[in-house]
Chain A
């Protein structure tokens, strides 16, 4: 009974924390990009304002759209991202939703936002939506393999498919990114996640100067707000995943007030490091074409990630 109550509290805590942290992360991303581009950038409350504004706007479901799929897609996207946030462990708090093999489930769940975009785009009865959906599919097929190879490097290093175990291993042996194979895998996963977030140079599915907004072209009002929220949360969750698997994980140390503050500061730094990479890499690159991205992922990044995996087998 107590356990169930804890799970319920944990669920709502994560729901509240992950979404707000996601919006905050999207603000950091926007502000940082703006500063890099000689612009002022939005104020801190902007992502919340955008979200609330969209909630109040008219909801339009296009004539000819497949309504059920069109409406469900943003919910699927948001739910899958939220589930990942529930599974990801924090050291010092017993993980209520962790289980053996949860890394594989996380991998599957992280593919769902892309699939949801495909569903929504295809269901929207819009040519830009369908072009966006087909691009999303090609991109998903390109970056999944290097991402899986990179995350499995961690599995080989730590000998566990459970995220909490990977975290514990790093608590005892130091962050995986400090080893050769771990570093290669970190780089590969950062680049693959860049595509998962559809940040430049891989902002191909929703390339605004080519196909309006790709799968999201027909979305408006609350459904668009939900897609945006899912995307912002995904930004946070992906940073969290990278921090957990490669940077030694997040730890909350309750032993004293000082250690609590210290551990939280270190956690924040670990979460911000991947975000910094995503933002800066986005700012310094133009958009690739889908065929170029496919080739680049399959030829170079996959080979790179496999080298990391091979290094892990020889215990580097």
Chain B
């Protein structure tokens, strides 16, 4: 990001080289071990990655997961969307310095995490998916009341907070008309998920290419045409309400039957899995070579598709807007970047360089070692 005074004059996207080796690891494990690995790509969307991977392998093997498994996958995926969007809303409000509403949104995220603990045993990383179905049943008669009660509490709370967001004049001043991504730019940069839906493009994998039980349960996608940060915020807040309704419908319509399908011997084949992660379209590609170890596994998380669109969104805005604009695509920065400050006129890095940092770190380590 290049600035003159408070104004942003140029933006260069540099994705960091924090290499995590997920794909390398994946190509050295059996297809049944990989869900546990890809679950750890991201701590926030820890259902959508294994789900997406399992769909890819199922496609390669020609297996259909049983009905009950598809419903359970849907319920967990939507609960994940609720918690992820509420988490995002809190962080976004923190970015504009509104810490009270940040805490309120997270207060309503907490019951959802408790629900996860009740249904899966974990607050995050639910370990629900396996190739061909799910590992864990949801005991509907036993948990239905508790789930419905929590969803109602969260739904009411979020609607109230949405009202507070819409009425606050200073929130409006910070979000309306800021970081606009026009419909044309959104198409040009091929954005996905809430970022696209906030710019008036009605794409959603749940609707366009329904997976799990979405075709039966039905999804009403939320689209706003303004393209500013406010539109992206409203998309997410309203999707929380929509997701709550989806979970309620899915719980009531849950069919019986087995949890996982019989798997054939791994064929020589390939498959693509697509899911709508909270941040947008998530894609896993798996190529099988007839063994239980995949020959190639490629992951494309939604943030990777959305990050380039920050260029038109940031240009001409001020430093004060940068955090919320960057935040508005809900970037999953766990693997993105460190920061360096560069003089725009000379192109020289200001402050500390990488070599200097390494040198200093080594010096410090030696000092610590000596004194120990």
Contact = CB atoms under 8 A, between A and B. Distances in A.
Interface residues of B, number: 29
B15 interface: no
B5 interface: yes
Given A131-B319, A210-B319, A291-B318, A286 B103 contact: no
Given A38-B104, A207-B320, A286 B5 contact: no
Given A37-B99, A127-B341, A286 B320 contact: no
B171 interface: yes
Contact of A286 (B93, B104, B350): B93
A203 interface: yes
A4 interface: no
A315 interface: no
Contacts of B170: 201, 285-286, 288
B313 to A, nearest CB: 16
A288 B241 CA distance: 29
A211 B99 contact: no
A292 B102 CA distance: 22
A211 B319 contact: yes
Interface residues of A, number: 28
Given A286-B93, A286-B171, A291-B318, A36 B323 contact: no
Interface string A1-41: 00000000000000000000000000000000100111100
A220 interface: no
A204 interface: yes
B97 A287 contact: yes
A195 interface: no
Nearest to B173: A292
B321 A127 contact: no
B94 A134 contact: no
Contacts of B351: 126-127
A57 interface: no
Contacts of A209: 94-97, 323
A135 B182 CA distance: 30
B168 interface: yes
Nearest to B93: A286
Contact of A289 (B93, B94, B102, B320): B320
B162 to A, nearest CB: 15
Contacts, number: 73
Contacts of A291: 6, 318
Given A38-B107, A127-B350, A289-B174, A210 B98 contact: no
A200 B97 contact: yes
Contacts of A203: 97
Contacts of B318: 289-291
B100 A204 contact: no
Contacts of A36: 100
A299 to B, nearest CB: 14
Most interface-central of B101, B319, B351 (chain A CB within 10 A): B319
Interface string A119-161: 0000000110001001100000000000000000000000000
A283 interface: yes
Interface in A197-242: 200-201, 203-204, 207, 209-211
A288 B322 contact: no
B96 A131 contact: no
B320 A210 contact: yes
A265 interface: no
Given A127-B341, A285-B98, A134 B107 contact: no
Interface of B: 5-6, 93-104, 107, 168, 170-171, 173-174, 318-323, 341, 350-351
Interface of A: 33, 36-39, 126-127, 131, 134-135, 200-201, 203-204, 207, 209-211, 283-292
27 contacts: A33-B99, A36-B100, A37-B104, A38-B103, A39-B103, A127-B341, A127-B350, A200-B98, A200-B99, A204-B320, A207-B320, A209-B95, A209-B96, A209-B97, A210-B322, A210-B323, A284-B100, A286-B97, A286-B98, A287-B96, A287-B98, A287-B320, A288-B173, A289-B173, A289-B318, A290-B320, A291-B6
Closest 8 CB pairs of A and B: A287-B97, A286-B98, A37-B103, A289-B320, A286-B96, A209-B95, A209-B323, A283-B100
